[in-house]
Structures are given as C-alpha cells and as structure tokens.
Amino acid sequence: MKSKVTVKELVGTKMVYGLLLVFYYWMWARQDWHDYYNQIQQGVILFTILFFAMRAARLHRYGKQAKDELAIQNLRRVDAIGLKILVAAVIVIAFASAVTFIDGRMAGYALVGTVLALTVIRYILFCVVNGKAS
C-alpha cells in the first residue's frame, strides 16, 4: 500500500478496532466453552497482530505527509455528534443495569456493541459531512 493515507482511511479502520473489542470482550465474558473457540481465539489474535503491524506502517506514513485540515475539522464535528450519541447510550445502559433489566455481563456486551455501532456511525457521518464539504 504505497498510496496516500487519508483521514477517511484512518476513520474507517476504527471500525476494525471496534470489532476487535467485541471479539476480545466475547472471549473474556463468555460462560461456556466449545472446542472451536480455541481456533477462533487464535485467529483473532493473529489478525490483531497483523492488523496492528499494517496500521503502524500506515500511521507512520500519515505522519510524514501534509494534513487535510478541512477533513480534520469535519472529523471534529462528527466526533462531537458521536460523543452525544455515546452519552445517551451509556445513560440508557446504566439505567437498564440499575433497574436490573440487564446484568453486568449483558451491560458489558451493550457497551462494546455501542462502541462498535458508534465507529460505524462515525464513519458514515464523516463520509456524508466530508462529501458535502468537498
């Protein structure tokens, strides 16, 4: 990948981080065990190592090139919207836990699911906002 690193690429890869968070939480919080879980865990760990190595190379390349200030400003706007969405989701999860509608493990799944959903929403909003600005 010798191409220029864009802000859109950096925002898009955050979805992979969210997905990895969901997988790792599943590995830590599950209550059962099947023989094939071992292969899933090893695959996720191998993918994580390879993904982080590729991302480190791309981020190093991004650090050396000129920044797109308009895209960065649009990302800040999208992050402000995302923060409001996250606060609302955490309040709902906390209330559901307080009234014992969900237990602690399910609240954890709800939180990591919210992080994953927020990364997808963030990417879509960034594409829309940045597309209008261009």
Looking at residues 44-56, what average pLDDT do you find? 93
Count of CB atoms within 10 A of residue 104's CB?
A: 9
Looking at residues 128-133, what average pLDDT do you find? 82
pLDDT tens for residues 55-92?
A: 998 888 887 888 888 989 999 999 999 999 999 999 99
Looking at residues 8-27, what average pLDDT do you find? 92
Per DSSP, 28 falls in state H
pLDDT category at 133 given cuts 50, 70, 90 is low
pLDDT of residue 63: 79
Q: In sequence order, what DSSP letters do the residues of 39-89 get, joined into one string?
A: HHHHHHHHHHHHHHHHHHHHHHHHHHS---HHHHHHHHHHHHHHHHHHHHH
User: What percentage of residues in the chain have a pLDDT greater than 90?
Assistant: 62
pLDDT of residue 130: 87
pLDDT of residue 1: 53
* Residue 3, pLDDT above cutoff 80: no
pLDDT of residue 53: 93
Please state the pTM of the whole predicted model.
0.84
For residue 30, with 0-12 CB atoms within 10 Å meaning exposed, 13-18 middle and 19 or more buried, which class applies? exposed
pLDDT of residue 122: 95
Residue with tokens 């864009």: 6
